[in-house]
């Protein structure tokens, strides 16, 4: 009897080491899984980040191709400088202003002011603040690219008549303060997020924001000398290099896979990576829809295809799908992009009739198509409401337009933002920079 009583105890004692080992193996497996999620998410941010960085080259080439040759170098300088300044402004104040966490100055409205800090060199698993997300460095790099893109939108709209240094001063204000504040309202957990506003990758938060800032700048800056006659005549000022502009469009199209795909913000599970691939497919077909719509519509309206409209049609398709690139099927994504292309074809001449001079079509592409894309979220996302979408569009638009306008007015009063008529005729490359993009073609 004693032996029978002792057998279960002996057996349990024998099993204890194996049970402990199994528990250790389970804990080890959980840790490995957490580490892989962290690694894959960080990798997504880094890959998405360098794709969106390449969009800076796309904006630069598009703008340099759509301005006249005497202003091409100025666009190149502006885009290199604006990205560099955005980098500094965003790490010094913008990133933590946009993602304040618990550090709101005004809860849901205004984040805190502090510099970005990365993890220590060689940080270990146990020292990570959030092992379920990604590294601070990768998150910062990814979000910086969106911030800089907002400034690039403004650059094209105000081209060919703005002074360099006032423009760069505005870039610092835009990327360091204005954009991060409004982006915090949605992506930083602010009041728009609480209200149910949905903008997956930034049709309004990035593109619409840049479009509103550009519109304020264009209205205060005025049109190019000779663009509009007193009789209502519009003088066409064709771009200098359409192959370069086309290359820029394709670079932007490529970068948009990172822009939208990276905004999934996760790549550590089967469902996440499948969703990323779905976003890629929808992003691509929306661009195609926008380009085809502009291609056909310009043929119908003008009896000839307009390449610049086709380029901007593709970009408008991309902007349109950015607010919700995951939920639609390929057919709906194509339709959403096509509507964006139609919007561009009708709104570019509309702005000319209103004597609003947007050199590259940035306002139709980023603002008008951005509004459409934000509203179109309700077509496929059952959690979105038209009321919340309109609320977000109005809040972002009012803030970006008014605050940008205030700073444009201040810069106009303090520094002056517009070059003289004589300098415009000569070209900003010579008058502002003293060098030309195509010196061998100059008249001497």
Coil, helix or strand at residue 232: coil
- First-to-last alpha carbon distance for the chain, in angstroms, is 116
Q: Give the tens place of pLDDT for each residue, 34-90.
A: 888 888 999 999 999 999 999 999 999 999 999 999 999 999 999 999 999 999 999
> What 8-state DSSP symbol labels residue 130?
-
Consecutive sets of 10 residues in the chain, 444 residues long: mean pLDDT of each? 55 51 60 82 94 97 96 97 97 95 90 89 78 88 97 96 97 97 96 96 97 98 92 90 97 97 92 96 98 98 96 98 98 98 97 95 97 98 96 98 98 96 94 90 57
Positive or negative CA dihedral for 310, 311, 316, 321?
positive
Listed in sequence order, the residues at least 6 apart from 340 whose beta carbon sits closer than 8 Å to its beta carbon are 286, 289, 290, 293, 313, 316, 317, 318, 319, 320, 321, 369, 372, 373
> What 8-state DSSP symbol labels residue 223?
P
Q: Give the tens place of pLDDT for each residue, 163-192.
A: 999 999 999 999 999 999 999 999 999 999
Q: Give the tens place of pLDDT for each residue, 375-420.
A: 999 999 999 999 999 999 999 999 999 999 999 999 999 999 999 9
Phi, psi of 228 (to 5 degrees): -125, 130
Supply the pLDDT for residue 444: 40
> What 8-state DSSP symbol labels residue 359?
T
The answer to whether 132 and 37 have CB atoms below 8 angstroms apart is yes
Listed in sequence order, the residues at least 6 apart from 220 whose beta carbon sits closer than 8 Å to its beta carbon are 405, 408, 409, 412, 417
**Side-chain-side CA neighbours of residue 342 (13 Å):** 9
Listed in sequence order, the residues at least 6 apart from 198 whose beta carbon sits closer than 8 Å to its beta carbon are 323, 324, 377, 381, 383, 384, 388, 389, 392
| Segment holding 65, helix H or strand E | helix 2-66
Phi, psi of 436 (to 5 degrees): -125, 150
Kindly state the percentage of the chain with pLDDT values over 90: 81
Q: Which residues sit opposite 234 in a β-bridge? A: 228
CA distances from 18 to 6, 97, 176 (A): 20, 51, 57
d(CA 408, CA 390): 26
Answering whether pTM is above 0.85, one says yes
Task: List helix spans (H) across 161-241.
Answer: 164-173, 179-184, 191-194, 209-221
Supply the pLDDT for residue 126: 76
Listed in sequence order, the residues at least 6 apart from 371 whose beta carbon sits closer than 8 Å to its beta carbon are 203, 204, 208, 393
Supply the pLDDT for residue 18: 53
d(CA 278, CA 291): 20
Supply the pLDDT for residue 5: 60
How high does pLDDT run on average in the chain? 92
């Amino acid at each position: 009897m004693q032996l029978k009583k002792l057998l279960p105890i002996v057996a349990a004692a024998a099993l204890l080491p194996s049970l402990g080992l199994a528990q250790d193996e389970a804990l080890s497996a959980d840790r490995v899984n957490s580490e892989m999620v962290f690694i894959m998410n960080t990798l997504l941010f880094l890959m998405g980040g360098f794709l969106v960085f390449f969009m800076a080259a796309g904006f630069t080439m598009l703008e340099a191709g759509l301005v006249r040759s005497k202003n091409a170098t100025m666009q190149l300088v502006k885009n290199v400088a604006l990205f560099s300044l955005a980098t500094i402004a965003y790490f010094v104040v913008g990133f933590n202003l946009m993602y304040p966490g618990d550090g709101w100055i005004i809860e849901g409205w205004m984040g805190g002011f502090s510099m970005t800090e990365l993890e220590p060199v060689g940080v270990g698993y146990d020292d990570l603040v959030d092992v379920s997300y990604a590294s601070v460095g990768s998150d910062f790099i990814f979000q910086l690219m969106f911030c800089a893109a907002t400034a690039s939108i403004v650059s094209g709209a105000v081209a060919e008549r703005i002074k360099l240094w006032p423009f760069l001063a505005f870039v610092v204000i835009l990327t360091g303060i204005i954009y991060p504040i409004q982006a915090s309202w949605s992506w930083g957990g602010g009041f728009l997020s609480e209200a149910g506003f949905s903008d997956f990758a930034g049709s309004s938060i990035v593109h619409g924001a840049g479009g509103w800032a550009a519109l304020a700048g264009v209205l205060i800056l005025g049109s190019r000398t000779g663009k509009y006659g007193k009789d209502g005549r519009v003088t066409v000022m064709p771009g200098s290099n359409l192959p370069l502009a086309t290359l820029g469009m394709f670079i932007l199209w490529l970068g948009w896979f990172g822009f939208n795909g990276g905004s999934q913000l996760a790549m550590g599970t089967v469902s996440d990576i499948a969703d990323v691939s779905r976003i890629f497919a929808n992003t691509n077909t929306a661009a195609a829809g926008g380009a085809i719509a502009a291609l056909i519509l310009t043929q119908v309206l003008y009896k000839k295809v307009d390449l610049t409209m086709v380029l901007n049609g593709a970009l408008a398709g991309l902007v349109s799908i950015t607010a919700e690139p995951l939920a639609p099927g390929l057919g709906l994504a194509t339709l959403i992009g096509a509507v964006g292309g139609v919007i561009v074809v009708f709104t570019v001449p509309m702005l000319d009739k209103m004597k609003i001079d947007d050199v590259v079509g940035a306002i139709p592409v980023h603002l008008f198509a951005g509004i459409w894309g934000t509203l179109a979220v309700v077509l496929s996302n059952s959690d979105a409401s038209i009321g919340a979408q309109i609320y977000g569009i109005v809040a972002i638009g009012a803030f970006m337009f008014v605050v940008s306008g205030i700073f444009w007015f201040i810069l106009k009063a303090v520094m002056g933002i517009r070059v003289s008529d004589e300098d415009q005729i000569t070209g900003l490359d010579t008058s502002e920079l003293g060098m030309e993009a195509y010196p061998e073609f100059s008249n001497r």
